[in-house]
Structures are given as C-alpha cells and as structure tokens.
Structure 1
Amino acid sequence: MKMTLRALATLKSIDTLIIHSLDLCLYQASVIIEGEEFLVTDDIGNLIRAHSLLEIQKQCQNVKAKSQVMRQESAYDEMVGGPEKGDGNRLEVLISDNKLY
C-alpha cells in the first residue's frame, strides 16, 4: 500500500520510518503504522527516491515517526541459485535524523 508525504505529515502515530538502501546511492522510504507497512509517495503517486541518506531524510522531515531505521536486503542467495531465505538477509540499523541538511 502507498501513502503520500502530505498525508503522513498530518498523522501523529507513525511507528517507524524505514529508509531502504536499494543500491549504491539510491534510497526509498516506507513507514509502519499500526503494524502495516506503507510505501511513501509524492502527491501524484510516485515513490519518493533520493541519492543520499540526508536527501531522503530531508524529504521526510515532516514525518513524525517514533523511530527511524535504514534497511538493506541482500539478493545474494537468489543470485547463486539457493533457496529464498525470506527476511534472513535483511539488515536494519537504527538511525536518527540529525538535521544536517
């Protein structure tokens, strides 16, 4: 499911802001609200993306989340033909927004 930045800025109960590290310099965001994960979009429905962690944090600065994590998932097992591991190759690190932008 998706939710716009504008709608998220009005909510007071956002559990976690997740910054997805997709590639070398490509980040995307999602949020967890009451156990359900939503991808973050702009007003016209495009997923928000950025080329640096600070840039995506700046885009999400009005999202009042209780915590922020950076998530990276590895596709290595799938690339070598092994069985899918589910969330086994997921790394999540707690981060904070130091407002360095």
Structure 2
Amino acid sequence: IDTGATLVAINTSTARRAGISLNPSDFIHEVNTANGAIKAAVVTVERLQIGKISVENVQAVVIDDRALQTNLIGMSFLQRLQKYQVENGSLLLVQ
C-alpha cells in the first residue's frame, strides 16, 4: 500500500500473469519513482481484488520488473474504497 502513489503500480511479470499484453512501444509515460524517472505503460485493470475487496476498472501503470519488484496499491484503488486505515498494526480496507 502506497498512499503517496497516484496510481496502482504493477510490474511486467504481474501484468503478464493478469493477461495484460504490452508492447515496448506502450512504455511512453515517464513516472517518478524513488529510484528516479522511468518509462511506464498506463493500463486499466479490469478487476483488482485484495481478499474480499474488489474494484473494477482501476487505472494503473506497468513498470519493468527490474525497476519494480513489489507491486504497489496506490490511490487509484484506495480512493474507491469507503475507508482504509492502519489499525492495531493491521491494514483495514472497507468497501
């Protein structure tokens, strides 16, 4: 979970497993990461599910595996929930 990220960010391996096919020419958007600016592809994820929480048509960026080892759940997912917070060391998501 990254509340500082505007969009969900997934790596190319995750995108491939989710059935999102991309070409090198799709990586035309520059995004700023903790490691500097890199190229990314903007996609819409049909359904993003975390446990029982499911959100449809979530905007995301796909970033090369070498630049993004862990997928990030950003505000394009979180803002569509009724509530999200850390409570007693656990993340609480309410749809």
Q: TM-score, length-normalised on structure 2? A: 0.25
Which structure has more RCO (C-alpha within 8 Å, separation ≥ 6)?
2
Greater C-alpha Rg: 1
**Higher helix fraction: Structure 1 or Structure 2?**
1
